[in-house]
Structure 1
Amino acid sequence: MPVLVRIQRLVSEEHRLYGHGYVSAAEADRLKKIDVELDQCWDLLRQRRAARKTGGNPAAAEVRPPEVVEKYSG
């Protein structure tokens, strides 16, 4: 699945979970997982765009583990 499509689906799911005003424990766990996966998707997208911009191979970009992308700030 293309990265932007995955991002859109995750954001839609996130909005749906927050949308009814009450978040159960299971939904809170899912929201944490969505947050991590979104960070990974955005990181992958940035890697691909940077590779394309510098003449590299965007297909060589890889999803980095949560412990890597979760340490980024900004």
Structure 2
Amino acid sequence: MDDKEILGRIHDLVGEEQRLRDRHQRTGLTEDEERDRLERLEVALDQCWDLLRQRRARQEFGENPDDAEVRSVAEVEGYRQ
């Protein structure tokens, strides 16, 4: 996946997340499935942003950005903010 594809995926995920959050503000997330989906979206976004940062760092230091890999949920979610 190249940077453009990752950014496209981020855009799609953000759009879906926004629709769920809008629905939540209007009616509440009544379905466990919707809450679970929102959590999965947040994790997927974190992984995409992490992958994009890895690729850009590799490019900056003259390495192959295609060597960047999606990190595990545990690793990405364990970062300090």
TM-score (normalised: structure 1): 0.94
C-alpha distance in structure 1 between counterparts of 2:50 and 2:80, whole Å? 12
Report the equivalent of 2:19: 16
> 1:1-74 counterparts in 2 under 5 A?
2-20=5-23, 21=25, 22-23=28-29, 24-74=31-81
**Quick check: which has more Rg, 1 or 2?**
2
Decide which moves more: 19-28 or 43-52.
19-28
State the identity as a percent: 51
Query: Per-residue deviation at 1:25?
Result: 1.5
AA aligned opposite 1:44: L
Deviations 1:18-55 (CA, angstroms, capped at 9, x unpaired): 11221131110001101111110000000000000000
Alignment size in residue pairs: 74
Query: Per-residue deviation at 1:73?
Result: 1.7
Structure 2 unaligned runs (5+)?
Answer: none
Q: Cα RMSD over matched residues?
A: 1.0
Which one has the bigger helix percentage? 2
Decide which moves more: 23-32 or 42-51.
23-32
Structure 1 unaligned runs (5+)?
Answer: none
